[in-house]
Structure 1
């Protein structure tokens, strides 16, 4: 894992919604090729911007409650949460430069 952290249906509210920092949640599944492709990029972002943004992964197969709550139908889906609210949604495996541009407001 490293700098990214796992969350679950049980820990999501604490890990994400109650977090003081912006949180990028990666909705993914082990069988999803694009999810595996974006994982190292998210790990880099988590390391490079530690202290400014949390990067959290949620396995959609194992956590249907949260997946359903946020209407996740395609993966990878990246949601940015600030103070418990979704402020940005990105769908698909984006290259790092595009991700950095899209997330610039939250990376500090």
Structure 2
């Protein structure tokens, strides 16, 4: 679990929010090859993980995750090129933002009593 004082970037894109939860879910899907495993890592139900993926699909108008049908070898999931692009762009914005406001964030933390 992250430190509650860590900077967290949330971007409103129309009616959809893109923030650390969706980014971490996409990253988990990339790492595990599974929507359910990525959700479990975040203490999130499979249904909720799918809802977040669907929100992204609807907003961007194309799949962000490609799923593989189950069977003897099991199913799976992987990020599409769009999903990879969304994740890398969000992480880049997150890094730039954190670096830009680091001094001001430190100042706000210092003001805490």
Relative to the length of structure 2, the TM-score reads 0.26
The one of the two structures with greater contact order (alpha-carbon pairs below 8 A, sep at least 6) is 1
- Which structure carries more helix by proportion? 2
- Which structure carries more strand by proportion? 1
| Higher Rg of the two aligned structures | 2
Relative to the length of structure 1, the TM-score reads 0.27
